[in-house]
Amino acid sequence: MRLFVDRVELEDVLTKAKSATEKKSALPVLNNFKLLAEEDRLIIYATDLENFLVLNLPARVESPGETSVNADKLTSIIKNLSSAEVYMELEEDKLIIKGGKSQFKLVCGDPSEFPEFPEVVCKGDIPSSLLLKGISKVDYAISKEDTRYALQGMYVGSKEGRLHFVGSDGHRLALYMPEGVSFDEELLLARKSLKVLEKLLKDAIGSVEVGKDENFAHVKGENWSLSVRLLEGEYPDYMAVIPTDYTINVLLDRSEFENALKRLSAIASAKAFPVKLSFSSEVILMEISEPEFGEGKDEVEILESLSAIEPMDIGFNGKYLLEALGEFDFDRVYLKAIDADSPVILESANLEKDPYLCVIMPMRL
Protein backbone atom coordinates (compact mmCIF):
# COMPACT_ATOMS: atom_id res chain seq x y z
CA MET A 1 0.00 0.00 0.00
CA ARG A 2 1.52 3.29 -1.16
CA LEU A 3 -0.27 6.54 -2.03
CA PHE A 4 -0.35 10.33 -2.09
CA VAL A 5 -3.41 12.29 -0.93
CA ASP A 6 -4.39 15.94 -0.41
CA ARG A 7 -3.87 16.80 3.28
CA VAL A 8 -6.88 19.15 3.70
CA GLU A 9 -9.26 16.67 2.05
CA LEU A 10 -7.91 13.84 4.17
CA GLU A 11 -8.23 15.85 7.39
CA ASP A 12 -11.87 16.68 6.56
CA VAL A 13 -12.72 13.03 5.86
CA LEU A 14 -10.92 11.74 8.97
CA THR A 15 -12.69 14.29 11.20
CA LYS A 16 -16.06 13.07 9.95
CA ALA A 17 -15.05 9.41 10.23
CA LYS A 18 -13.83 9.85 13.80
CA SER A 19 -17.36 10.68 14.98
CA ALA A 20 -18.38 7.09 14.18
CA THR A 21 -15.60 5.43 16.18
CA GLU A 22 -15.74 4.23 19.79
CA LYS A 23 -13.28 6.19 21.96
CA LYS A 24 -13.18 3.84 24.96
CA SER A 25 -14.08 0.43 23.63
CA ALA A 26 -13.22 -2.95 25.10
CA LEU A 27 -12.58 -3.95 21.47
CA PRO A 28 -9.37 -2.15 20.36
CA VAL A 29 -10.33 -2.47 16.70
CA LEU A 30 -13.23 -0.04 17.27
CA ASN A 31 -10.66 2.67 18.10
CA ASN A 32 -9.25 2.24 14.59
CA PHE A 33 -9.97 3.21 11.01
CA LYS A 34 -9.64 0.64 8.27
CA LEU A 35 -7.84 2.15 5.26
CA LEU A 36 -8.22 0.66 1.80
CA ALA A 37 -6.24 2.03 -1.17
CA GLU A 38 -7.44 0.96 -4.61
CA GLU A 39 -7.21 2.43 -8.13
CA ASP A 40 -7.58 6.20 -7.63
CA ARG A 41 -9.30 6.24 -4.21
CA LEU A 42 -8.56 5.99 -0.52
CA ILE A 43 -11.51 4.45 1.32
CA ILE A 44 -11.89 4.89 5.08
CA TYR A 45 -14.07 2.66 7.28
CA ALA A 46 -15.15 3.62 10.80
CA THR A 47 -17.61 1.98 13.20
CA ASP A 48 -18.74 1.74 16.82
CA LEU A 49 -21.01 -1.23 15.93
CA GLU A 50 -24.03 1.14 15.95
CA ASN A 51 -22.85 3.38 13.10
CA PHE A 52 -21.01 1.99 10.06
CA LEU A 53 -19.45 4.83 8.06
CA VAL A 54 -17.59 4.56 4.76
CA LEU A 55 -15.94 7.61 3.17
CA ASN A 56 -13.74 7.86 0.12
CA LEU A 57 -11.57 10.56 -1.42
CA PRO A 58 -9.34 10.89 -4.48
CA ALA A 59 -5.77 9.60 -4.08
CA ARG A 60 -2.77 8.88 -6.29
CA VAL A 61 -2.39 5.20 -5.51
CA GLU A 62 0.97 3.72 -6.51
CA SER A 63 0.36 0.39 -4.81
CA PRO A 64 -3.03 -0.86 -3.53
CA GLY A 65 -3.50 -2.39 -0.10
CA GLU A 66 -5.27 -2.13 3.22
CA THR A 67 -4.50 -1.71 6.89
CA SER A 68 -6.02 -0.72 10.24
CA VAL A 69 -4.69 2.19 12.29
CA ASN A 70 -5.60 4.18 15.43
CA ALA A 71 -8.22 6.77 14.46
CA ASP A 72 -7.28 9.42 17.01
CA LYS A 73 -3.54 9.32 16.29
CA LEU A 74 -3.93 9.35 12.51
CA THR A 75 -6.39 12.27 12.62
CA SER A 76 -4.13 14.26 14.95
CA ILE A 77 -1.05 13.69 12.78
CA ILE A 78 -2.77 14.69 9.54
CA LYS A 79 -4.32 17.76 11.17
CA ASN A 80 -0.91 19.06 12.29
CA LEU A 81 1.15 18.37 9.18
CA SER A 82 2.37 21.50 7.38
CA SER A 83 2.42 20.06 3.85
CA ALA A 84 -0.24 20.30 1.14
CA GLU A 85 0.11 16.60 0.31
CA VAL A 86 0.53 13.50 2.46
CA TYR A 87 2.47 10.36 1.55
CA MET A 88 1.45 7.06 3.15
CA GLU A 89 3.13 3.68 2.79
CA LEU A 90 2.53 0.37 4.55
CA GLU A 91 5.79 -1.27 5.55
CA GLU A 92 5.20 -4.61 7.28
CA ASP A 93 3.14 -3.71 10.40
CA LYS A 94 3.84 0.04 10.32
CA LEU A 95 2.11 2.85 8.39
CA ILE A 96 4.68 5.42 7.30
CA ILE A 97 3.28 8.95 7.05
CA LYS A 98 5.29 11.79 5.50
CA GLY A 99 4.41 15.45 5.05
CA GLY A 100 6.91 18.31 4.71
CA LYS A 101 9.78 17.61 7.10
CA SER A 102 7.65 15.37 9.32
CA GLN A 103 7.66 11.59 9.32
CA PHE A 104 5.72 9.13 11.49
CA LYS A 105 5.46 5.36 11.78
CA LEU A 106 2.14 4.20 13.21
CA VAL A 107 1.61 0.69 14.53
CA CYS A 108 -1.06 -1.07 12.42
CA GLY A 109 -3.67 -3.65 13.24
CA ASP A 110 -4.95 -6.55 11.18
CA PRO A 111 -7.61 -5.19 8.76
CA SER A 112 -9.24 -8.63 8.61
CA GLU A 113 -10.29 -8.19 12.26
CA PHE A 114 -12.33 -5.13 11.37
CA PRO A 115 -16.11 -5.71 11.71
CA GLU A 116 -18.08 -6.65 8.61
CA PHE A 117 -20.12 -3.74 7.25
CA PRO A 118 -23.81 -4.10 6.24
CA GLU A 119 -24.80 -3.85 2.59
CA VAL A 120 -26.18 -0.38 1.81
CA VAL A 121 -29.78 -0.58 0.55
CA CYS A 122 -31.50 2.65 -0.57
CA LYS A 123 -34.93 2.99 -2.17
CA GLY A 124 -35.76 6.69 -1.97
CA ASP A 125 -34.13 10.07 -1.55
CA ILE A 126 -34.51 13.13 0.66
CA PRO A 127 -32.99 16.59 0.03
CA SER A 128 -29.89 16.77 2.24
CA SER A 129 -30.79 20.28 3.45
CA LEU A 130 -34.24 19.07 4.51
CA LEU A 131 -32.87 16.10 6.44
CA LEU A 132 -30.34 18.37 8.15
CA LYS A 133 -33.11 20.86 9.03
CA GLY A 134 -35.27 18.05 10.43
CA ILE A 135 -32.48 16.91 12.74
CA SER A 136 -31.72 20.43 13.99
CA LYS A 137 -35.42 21.19 14.59
CA VAL A 138 -36.20 18.22 16.84
CA ASP A 139 -32.87 17.06 18.31
CA TYR A 140 -33.25 19.08 21.53
CA ALA A 141 -36.46 17.22 22.49
CA ILE A 142 -35.07 13.68 22.07
CA SER A 143 -34.90 11.75 25.33
CA LYS A 144 -31.54 11.47 27.09
CA GLU A 145 -32.84 8.86 29.55
CA ASP A 146 -31.81 5.24 29.02
CA THR A 147 -35.12 3.95 30.37
CA ARG A 148 -37.17 5.24 27.42
CA TYR A 149 -35.47 3.30 24.65
CA ALA A 150 -37.75 4.12 21.72
CA LEU A 151 -37.63 7.82 22.60
CA GLN A 152 -33.82 7.94 22.39
CA GLY A 153 -33.98 8.70 18.68
CA MET A 154 -35.61 10.75 15.94
CA TYR A 155 -38.62 9.28 14.17
CA VAL A 156 -38.94 9.88 10.41
CA GLY A 157 -42.08 8.92 8.47
CA SER A 158 -44.75 10.24 6.11
CA LYS A 159 -48.22 11.26 7.22
CA GLU A 160 -50.95 12.92 5.14
CA GLY A 161 -48.60 14.18 2.43
CA ARG A 162 -46.02 15.54 4.85
CA LEU A 163 -42.69 14.13 5.97
CA HIS A 164 -42.58 14.05 9.77
CA PHE A 165 -39.43 14.47 11.86
CA VAL A 166 -40.24 13.85 15.53
CA GLY A 167 -38.31 14.06 18.79
CA SER A 168 -39.76 13.57 22.27
CA ASP A 169 -38.73 12.81 25.84
CA GLY A 170 -42.24 12.33 27.21
CA HIS A 171 -42.35 15.87 28.66
CA ARG A 172 -42.27 17.66 25.29
CA LEU A 173 -42.53 16.80 21.63
CA ALA A 174 -41.02 18.59 18.62
CA LEU A 175 -42.55 18.01 15.18
CA TYR A 176 -41.18 19.32 11.88
CA MET A 177 -43.48 18.45 8.97
CA PRO A 178 -42.45 19.77 5.53
CA GLU A 179 -44.66 19.16 2.49
CA GLY A 180 -43.80 17.84 -0.94
CA VAL A 181 -41.38 15.04 -0.04
CA SER A 182 -42.43 11.44 -0.58
CA PHE A 183 -40.76 8.80 1.59
CA ASP A 184 -42.26 5.35 2.09
CA GLU A 185 -40.12 4.08 4.98
CA GLU A 186 -40.31 4.64 8.74
CA LEU A 187 -36.99 5.21 10.51
CA LEU A 188 -35.98 5.49 14.16
CA LEU A 189 -32.46 6.94 14.34
CA ALA A 190 -30.46 7.04 17.59
CA ARG A 191 -29.18 10.33 19.02
CA LYS A 192 -25.47 9.56 18.43
CA SER A 193 -26.21 8.54 14.84
CA LEU A 194 -27.82 11.94 14.25
CA LYS A 195 -24.57 13.64 15.34
CA VAL A 196 -22.60 11.54 12.84
CA LEU A 197 -25.15 12.23 10.10
CA GLU A 198 -25.19 15.98 10.77
CA LYS A 199 -21.45 16.24 10.08
CA LEU A 200 -21.92 14.47 6.75
CA LEU A 201 -24.96 16.47 5.65
CA LYS A 202 -23.41 19.90 6.28
CA ASP A 203 -21.26 19.53 3.16
CA ALA A 204 -23.77 17.55 1.09
CA ILE A 205 -25.31 19.04 -2.06
CA GLY A 206 -28.63 17.97 -3.56
CA SER A 207 -30.35 14.86 -2.25
CA VAL A 208 -29.11 11.84 -0.34
CA GLU A 209 -30.33 8.30 -0.92
CA VAL A 210 -32.16 6.74 2.03
CA GLY A 211 -33.46 3.26 2.81
CA LYS A 212 -33.52 0.50 5.39
CA ASP A 213 -33.40 -3.24 5.89
CA GLU A 214 -34.39 -5.33 8.88
CA ASN A 215 -31.68 -3.99 11.18
CA PHE A 216 -30.23 -0.83 9.64
CA ALA A 217 -31.17 2.52 8.16
CA HIS A 218 -28.93 3.58 5.28
CA VAL A 219 -28.03 7.06 4.04
CA LYS A 220 -25.79 7.53 1.01
CA GLY A 221 -24.14 10.72 -0.21
CA GLU A 222 -21.81 11.50 -3.07
CA ASN A 223 -18.65 10.08 -1.48
CA TRP A 224 -19.93 8.45 1.71
CA SER A 225 -22.46 6.00 3.09
CA LEU A 226 -23.72 5.60 6.64
CA SER A 227 -25.52 2.54 7.98
CA VAL A 228 -27.19 3.10 11.34
CA ARG A 229 -28.50 0.35 13.61
CA LEU A 230 -32.23 1.02 14.03
CA LEU A 231 -33.59 1.55 17.52
CA GLU A 232 -35.85 -1.30 18.57
CA GLY A 233 -39.40 -0.82 19.79
CA GLU A 234 -42.50 0.98 18.61
CA TYR A 235 -42.44 4.76 18.52
CA PRO A 236 -45.41 6.15 20.50
CA ASP A 237 -48.50 7.49 18.70
CA TYR A 238 -47.32 11.08 18.93
CA MET A 239 -50.29 12.48 16.97
CA ALA A 240 -52.59 11.31 19.78
CA VAL A 241 -50.99 13.70 22.28
CA ILE A 242 -51.41 16.82 20.12
CA PRO A 243 -54.62 18.59 21.23
CA THR A 244 -57.07 19.81 18.58
CA ASP A 245 -59.41 21.92 20.77
CA TYR A 246 -58.29 24.86 22.90
CA THR A 247 -59.68 27.38 25.34
CA ILE A 248 -56.75 29.75 24.69
CA ASN A 249 -55.27 30.45 21.26
CA VAL A 250 -53.09 33.58 21.11
CA LEU A 251 -50.59 35.01 18.62
CA LEU A 252 -47.24 36.15 20.04
CA ASP A 253 -44.04 37.73 18.80
CA ARG A 254 -41.54 34.89 19.08
CA SER A 255 -38.50 37.09 19.80
CA GLU A 256 -40.32 39.15 22.41
CA PHE A 257 -41.50 36.00 24.16
CA GLU A 258 -38.07 34.38 24.01
CA ASN A 259 -36.22 37.49 25.23
CA ALA A 260 -38.59 37.96 28.17
CA LEU A 261 -37.92 34.36 29.25
CA LYS A 262 -34.17 34.90 28.92
CA ARG A 263 -34.39 37.97 31.14
CA LEU A 264 -36.25 36.01 33.80
CA SER A 265 -33.73 33.16 33.58
CA ALA A 266 -31.06 35.57 34.83
CA ILE A 267 -32.06 34.81 38.43
CA ALA A 268 -32.69 31.09 37.88
CA SER A 269 -30.56 28.73 39.94
CA ALA A 270 -30.34 26.19 37.11
CA LYS A 271 -30.88 25.91 33.35
CA ALA A 272 -34.23 24.28 34.07
CA PHE A 273 -36.32 26.84 35.92
CA PRO A 274 -40.02 27.09 36.83
CA VAL A 275 -41.97 29.98 35.30
CA LYS A 276 -45.65 30.88 35.68
CA LEU A 277 -47.63 32.30 32.73
CA SER A 278 -50.79 34.24 33.66
CA PHE A 279 -53.12 34.94 30.73
CA SER A 280 -55.25 38.09 30.50
CA SER A 281 -56.97 39.82 27.58
CA GLU A 282 -53.95 41.80 26.34
CA VAL A 283 -50.77 40.40 27.88
CA ILE A 284 -49.20 37.29 29.35
CA LEU A 285 -47.59 37.98 32.71
CA MET A 286 -44.57 35.79 33.39
CA GLU A 287 -43.22 35.26 36.88
CA ILE A 288 -40.26 33.42 38.37
CA SER A 289 -39.58 32.80 42.04
CA GLU A 290 -36.26 31.47 43.30
CA PRO A 291 -36.07 31.19 47.11
CA GLU A 292 -32.29 31.63 47.08
CA PHE A 293 -32.14 34.69 44.80
CA GLY A 294 -35.54 36.37 44.70
CA GLU A 295 -38.35 36.99 42.22
CA GLY A 296 -38.83 38.37 38.71
CA LYS A 297 -41.70 39.49 36.49
CA ASP A 298 -41.97 40.28 32.80
CA GLU A 299 -44.71 40.32 30.22
CA VAL A 300 -45.33 39.71 26.53
CA GLU A 301 -48.03 41.38 24.46
CA ILE A 302 -50.81 39.30 22.91
CA LEU A 303 -50.88 40.38 19.25
CA GLU A 304 -54.14 38.60 18.46
CA SER A 305 -56.51 36.26 20.23
CA LEU A 306 -58.43 33.62 18.30
CA SER A 307 -60.55 32.78 21.32
CA ALA A 308 -62.11 34.51 24.29
CA ILE A 309 -59.48 34.56 27.03
CA GLU A 310 -60.45 33.46 30.50
CA PRO A 311 -57.88 34.24 33.21
CA MET A 312 -55.63 31.21 33.59
CA ASP A 313 -52.26 30.40 35.21
CA ILE A 314 -50.02 27.71 33.72
CA GLY A 315 -46.65 26.59 35.05
CA PHE A 316 -43.79 25.57 32.77
CA ASN A 317 -40.21 24.46 32.77
CA GLY A 318 -38.71 27.65 31.31
CA LYS A 319 -35.87 25.68 29.69
CA TYR A 320 -38.41 23.75 27.61
CA LEU A 321 -40.04 26.96 26.39
CA LEU A 322 -36.71 28.53 25.45
CA GLU A 323 -35.46 25.48 23.58
CA ALA A 324 -38.70 25.22 21.60
CA LEU A 325 -38.79 28.94 20.73
CA GLY A 326 -35.18 28.81 19.57
CA GLU A 327 -36.05 26.45 16.69
CA PHE A 328 -38.76 28.55 15.01
CA ASP A 329 -37.86 30.15 11.68
CA PHE A 330 -40.94 32.42 11.60
CA ASP A 331 -41.26 35.47 13.87
CA ARG A 332 -44.86 34.83 14.96
CA VAL A 333 -46.07 31.84 16.99
CA TYR A 334 -49.39 30.63 18.31
CA LEU A 335 -49.64 29.50 21.91
CA LYS A 336 -52.58 27.12 22.35
CA ALA A 337 -53.78 25.81 25.72
CA ILE A 338 -56.73 23.95 27.23
CA ASP A 339 -56.09 24.21 30.97
CA ALA A 340 -53.27 24.17 33.52
CA ASP A 341 -52.88 20.37 33.36
CA SER A 342 -53.12 19.61 29.62
CA PRO A 343 -50.42 19.72 26.90
CA VAL A 344 -49.74 23.19 25.48
CA ILE A 345 -48.80 23.83 21.85
CA LEU A 346 -46.38 26.36 20.38
CA GLU A 347 -46.97 26.45 16.63
CA SER A 348 -45.59 28.51 13.77
CA ALA A 349 -48.03 31.16 12.55
CA ASN A 350 -46.97 30.31 8.99
CA LEU A 351 -46.90 26.53 8.50
CA GLU A 352 -46.05 26.97 4.82
CA LYS A 353 -42.77 28.74 5.56
CA ASP A 354 -42.05 27.06 8.88
CA PRO A 355 -43.99 23.77 9.31
CA TYR A 356 -43.04 23.28 12.94
CA LEU A 357 -44.72 22.89 16.31
CA CYS A 358 -43.82 21.84 19.83
CA VAL A 359 -46.01 20.24 22.49
CA ILE A 360 -45.00 20.93 26.08
CA MET A 361 -46.45 19.43 29.24
CA PRO A 362 -47.10 22.03 31.94
CA MET A 363 -45.72 21.61 35.44
CA ARG A 364 -47.25 22.25 38.84
CA LEU A 365 -45.57 25.15 40.65
Query: Domains in the chain, start-ordered, CATH in brackets?
Result: 2-113 (3.10.150.10), 124-237 (3.10.150.10), 242-360 (3.10.150.10)
Instruction: For the full predicted model, state whether its pTM sits above 0.85.
Output: yes
**Can you give the pLDDT at residue 150?**
83
Is the CB of residue 223 less than 8 Å from the CB of residue 57?
A: yes
Alpha-carbon distance values, 356 to 28, 268, 297, 349 (Å): 43, 28, 29, 9
Helix or strand (DSSP H, E) at 193: helix 191-201
**Could you read off the pLDDT of 64-85 as tens digits, one per residue?**
999 999 999 999 999 999 999 9
Number of residues that this document lists for the chain: 365
Return the number of other C-beta atoms located less than 10 Å from residue 311's C-beta: 8
Torsion sign over Cα 119, 123, 127, 133: negative
Contacts of 144 (CB under 8 A, 6+ apart): 152, 169, 191
Is the CB of residue 326 less than 8 Å from the CB of residue 265?
A: no
Q: 22-58 burial string, b = 16+ CB within 10 Å, else e?
A: beeeeeebbbbbbbbbeeebbbbbbbbebbbbbbbbe
**Could you read off the pLDDT of 116-175 as tens digits, one per residue?**
999 999 999 999 999 999 999 999 999 988 777 789 999 999 998 899 999 999 999 999
